[in-house]
Structure 1
Amino acid sequence: MKITFVNPPQTASKYKFMGVIAPPLGLAYMAAVLEENHFSVNIIDASASDMTWEEFEENLKNSNPDIIAITALTPTIEKALKTAKKSKNLFPDSIIVMGGYHPTFNFEELLNYEFIDIVIRGEGEYIILDLVQTIENHGDLSKVKGIAFDNIVTPERELIMDLDLLPFPARHLLPMDNYKLLNMDTKMSTMITSRGCPMQCSFCSSASLHGSKLRLRSIKGIVDEMEDLIENFNIETIAFMDDTFTINKKRVIEICDEIIRRNIKVLWGCTARVDSLNADILKKMREAGCITLFMGVESAEQQILDDVNKKTTIEKVQEAFKVCREEKIRTIASVVLGMPGDTHESIKKTVDFVKDLKPSYAIFSLATPYPGTKFYQQVFEKNMIKVKDWSKYTLISPIIDTIECSLDDLKKYQTIAFCKFYLRPSYLLRQLITDGPILLKTIWGVFRHVLS
């Protein structure tokens, strides 16, 4: 059997405006598991390749698949549905499978479309293997855990507890030259070193999918993969995409020590919780090649942090950015405007607070309730969701209003926030010295995206 995985056209990363285009690791992991079991597999990353719909169809024709597996997030679901429909028209006898965050939590909605045959719910690597083997052997699909089809919803499949059982993602099937980070002119890739997050922030869809139990890869497996990226793909920059890479300080030190011991020369960045950093761990990370941290600030209001179960304090946010500046590590502050408790005053306070933190970059998102999260359930029950069009769930379009701010107010505040942060002479001078042309590309991308 031939299986084609598809990242649909026109579904670039939600951070593309920041110069970030990341490989679809989920598809690459599933493809690797199928290849390991001797199936013929290919991946069409139509988004990263900037394919037109006509170019996508031509690529799909060339692959001549028996099974077409399409990934979807909430804001890309319409493009995924269009992909599924075109795929079914081209190959009416093929089996169309859809998976990802949105399909996992909205499978009933998707099964209403006659061109979708099966939905995968949850971590897909071994679900897709069970599914393909069952189809090839003409077996009973109702025995495959973690799927939905027709009027049948099978039991959930257990989470993958030993992540070292997974092969490295099948990056040889991806257009690796097309991925980039912060507009840097270097070859990059992403990696994960863990799944699951015990912190359980209410707005996080990743934690909803991967669970609250932290599952860790071995140090050897992580650094082996880094070496594989360098030797086989000439990767110069790696972005670790764990929910929070730094949650286990001892483990971070061990990873860094192994990178240093093997004399691996690669630059990398990661996600980090503000309450998991100190000067000692940052010095070690810097020595091992870390240059960028992506940290959740969310709000300057402690009550809002408590409401979303952030489990940290304003003071810890301030200290984390201070120590990163001292250790000369680039920071990206992730901020959420328009949470239910936000007021005109609290939003202005948050924008000023972020300026005072002096991060290298800042992303001012609008509160977006993704299906499957506690946040979605909370605002849905209170009838606060004002926009039902999934394509607007981009973090740029307002979806809910607050006790004081309308949707129009929130969009205005977001634009003001980006302008106030990026157009300060002191900021521009500081960042031009450190990041040069990268900054100019990033600012242009930010404003083009927000103002559109």
Structure 2
Amino acid sequence: MYSRNSRMSFSDNSRRGAFSGEGGGGQKMKVLLLNPPAKRKVVRDYYCSKTSKSSYLFAPIDLLLQSGVLAKDNELLVIDAVAQEMGVKKCLGELKKYHPRIILGLIGAVDLREDLDFYRQLKLSIPSAKIFLTGEPVLEDSEEWLKVNPFIDGILLRFISQGLAQYLAGKAEPEGIVFRDDGEIKFFAPKADKEYSVGRARQELFQFRRYFFSFAKKRRFATILTDFGCPYKCGFCVMSSLGYQRRRLEEVEEELEYLNWLGIKELFVQDQSFGSGGEHSKKVMGLFKKYGFSYTAFVRPDHQEERFWRELKDSGCHTVIVGVESGDDEILRIYNKGYTSAEAYEGIWRAKSAGLRVVATVIIGLPEDSLESIGRTMGFIKRVKPDFVSYNLAVARGLTKLRDKAREEGLISRLEMDQGGSFAGMRTRSLNEKELIELKKKAVRDFYFRMGYIWDRLKGIRSLYDFYALFREGMAVWFKNI
């Protein structure tokens, strides 16, 4: 089914980028998918850019899914300047050599001004190339972004959209895209169908050597998406504004079959609430089991049936990432989380009883947070005893109720934002930015740097790779939080 040429190892595309051009006659348009340079290890992914809190870095799901949409009729080049450790000068040089007609680039709030400056230089370097951007900063007021930044030619509003491919094909009204047309800015809303299709993502183009996932059980892994958005309406999360769509099952199976052929057996499932899709989720789990994948997934802790957690485990899941967010029930209520801290506790207990590792995500710095509420959250996490914790600073992303509140109360202090915690872009009603950073670091130290915890992790080592991953992540966490 697949040609020998498309089977790649890490080393095949780790220098200049990766190419793809499907067969067929005619001249293919050169399209470049770009994750731009950054001075730090930055993750621009799924409208949630951030600095890596340890040493993880993975394929941007935005570009990965668009590779499926665009590969059929175009010649693709993928450059991930973060993974390839390209500076601005080198990246611009590589882009000039390829000289693409179209560039779809990521932009993130974590390095917003640097990203904009890079694309400004890119337009000067290759004025004939049309630059389209996607990312959380440009989801809000997209038309205004084009008015203010003349070097941007268009914005893709959803990375599952066919809009850019339709634009390149000359369709009069492409969906989910904003672009310039003879001095006029045209806006076309994204579709809101229950199901979406992007074709087979070109996973072979996203096997850069420096991709590393903290919770993977194998060195080589792939990111995958089986739905889009989220059916829940958490007030701090941009996903609540994207709607919820499921990916066609036959397309999911095609991608899994291809990954299996590539020899990749480990997955990071990027669905924001895996298991919430009812029968669709069960069928996806059946496909994971059919092809023998092991995986990590985001899962809500309020699944009350123990059978659900056992089915997750049986389908190959070894690690679940659950949103605890806060140990303060009032804060959970305000942001419409849909469950209490007690229910989160019960869900984590069910997951652990099923033999799953649990990663608890926590948000520090919501407007209502105080020294007392953060202390309650830290105490709650110690009682819950997850295997890992991901502490994040609150960020007021566009299209969220949190952003509306933070603007109204004057809590936002800078343009950029980083949930990874390298800096704070907003304060709470009672804590300033410096205090929040220190509280986050203290929370990390108090959880991870305990002899009992370290001993438990050492006892859990089952392979040389487990030891390597634990050591690598442990050192990264240490140096970022001492």
User: TM-score of the superposition, structure 1-length normalised?
Assistant: 0.89
The aligned residue for residue 179 of structure 1 is: 211
- C-alpha separation between the residues in 2 aligned to 1:127 and 1:221? 19
Say yes or no: does 1:7 pair with 2:38.
no
Q: Which residue of 1 aligns with 2:266?
A: 237
1:442 aligns with 2:473: yes
Distance change >3 Å, CA 109–CA 215, structure 1 → 2: closer
Q: Indicate the residue corresponding to 2:237 in structure 1.
A: 204
Q: Deviations over 1:6-48 (max 9, x none)?
A: 1111263236333321112221322322222x22221211112
Residue 227 of structure 2 is matched in structure 1 by 194
Say which is worse superposed, 168-177 or 425-434, in terms of deviation.
Answer: 168-177
Task: Measure how far apart 1:176 and its partner are.
Answer: 4.0
Residue number in structure 2 paired with 1:217 = 247
Deviation at 1:145, TM superposition (A): 5.6
Do the aligned residues in 2 keep the contact of 1:196 with 1:215 (CA within 8 Å)?
A: yes
Q: Check 1:30–1:74 CA distance in 2 against 1; reply closer, same or farther (3 A cut).
A: same
1:256: how far off?
Answer: 2.8
Does the 8 Å contact 1:249/1:281 carry over to 2? no
* Residues 241-256 of structure 1: pairs in structure 2 closer than 5 A: 241-256=270-285
Q: Do 1:99 and 1:124's aligned partners in 2 also have CA atoms closer than 8 Å? A: no
Residue matched to 2:163: 127
1:389 maps to 415
- Rounded to whole Å, the distance in 1 between the matches of 2:156 and 2:278 is 34
CA offset digits 1:355-395 (Å, max 9, x no partner) = 1111111111111111121210121122221x223155654
What is the CA–CA distance in structure 1 between the aligned matches of 2:260 and 2:348, rounded to whole Å?
Answer: 30
| One-letter amino acid matched to 2:67 | A
Instruction: Give secondary structure in 1 for the equivalent of 2:445.
Output: helix
Q: Counterpart in 2 of 1:22?
A: 58
Question: 1:422 corresponds to which residue?
Answer: 448
Whole-angstrom distance in 2 between the partners of 1:74 and 1:116: 16
Correspondence for 2:202: 170
In structure 2, C-alpha distance between the alignment counterparts of 1:117 and 1:360, rounded to whole Å: 45
Cα deviations by residue, 1:74-115 (Å, 9 ceiling, x for unpaired): 213334323312221221222122122221214324542232
1:291–1:143 distance in 2 versus 1, CA, 3 Å:
closer
How many Å separate the matches in 1 of 2:246 and 2:190? 19
Aligned to 2:399: 372
1:55 maps onto 2:55 in alignment? no
Residues 116-139 of structure 1: per-residue CA shift (max 9 Å, x gap): 2222333463111122223xxxx8
Supply the AA of the counterpart residue of 1:254: K
Question: Whole-Å Cα distance in 2 between the matches of residues 396 and 353 of structure 1?
Answer: 24
Q: Work out whether residues 384 and 400 of structure 1, in 8 Å CA contact, stay in contact via their aligned partners in 2.
A: yes
Residue pairs, 1:274-423, within 5 angstroms = 274-276=301-303, 278-385=305-412, 387-390=413-416, 392=418, 394-423=420-449
Cα pair 2:395 2:418 within 8 Å, conserved:
no
Point out the more displaced range, 291-300 or 274-283: 274-283
CA distance in 2, matches of 1:218, 1:110: 33
Indicate the RMSD between aligned Cα atoms, in angstroms.
2.4
* Alignment pair present for 1:70 and 2:105: yes
**Bigger mean CA offset, 96-105 vs 425-434:** 96-105
Task: After TM superposition, give the deviation of residue 281 of structure 1 in Å.
Answer: 1.7
Q: CA deviation at 1:249?
A: 4.9
The change in CA–CA distance for 1:414 and 1:188 in structure 2 (over 3 A counts) is same
Q: CA 1:196/1:183 → structure 2, altered by over 3 Å: closer, same or farther? A: closer
Q: Structure 2: how far apart are the matches of 1:145 and 1:415?
A: 40
CA shift at 1:202, angstroms?
A: 0.9
How far apart in 2 are the matches of 1:445 and 1:343?
28
After alignment, is 195-204 or 166-175 more displaced?
166-175
* Residues 243 and 271, structure 1, Cα contact 8 Å, conserved in 2: yes
d(CA) in 1 for partners of 2:304 and 2:56?
24
- Alpha carbons of 1:392 and 1:218: their partners in 2 closer, same or farther (altered >3 Å)? closer
Q: Residues 322-364 of structure 1, C-alpha deviation per residue, up to 9 Å, x if partnerless? A: 1222222111110011211112111111111111111111111
Q: Distance in 2 between matches of 1:449 and 1:277?
A: 36
Moved more, 436-445 or 63-72: 436-445
Aligned partner (choices 120, 126, 143) of residue 85 of structure 1: 120
What's the offset of the Cα at 1:58?
A: 2.6
Mark the CA change 1:304 to 1:425 in structure 2 (over 3 Å): closer, same or farther.
same
Greater helix percent: which structure?
1
What is the count of residue pairs matched by the alignment? 437
Instruction: Give how far 1:220 is off.
Output: 4.1
Partner amino acid, structure 2, of 1:257: G
Q: 1:217 to 1:113 in 2, by over 3 A?
A: closer
In structure 2, runs of 5+ residues without a counterpart are: 1-28, 44-49, 462-466
Determine what percentage of the aligned residue pairs are the same residue: 22
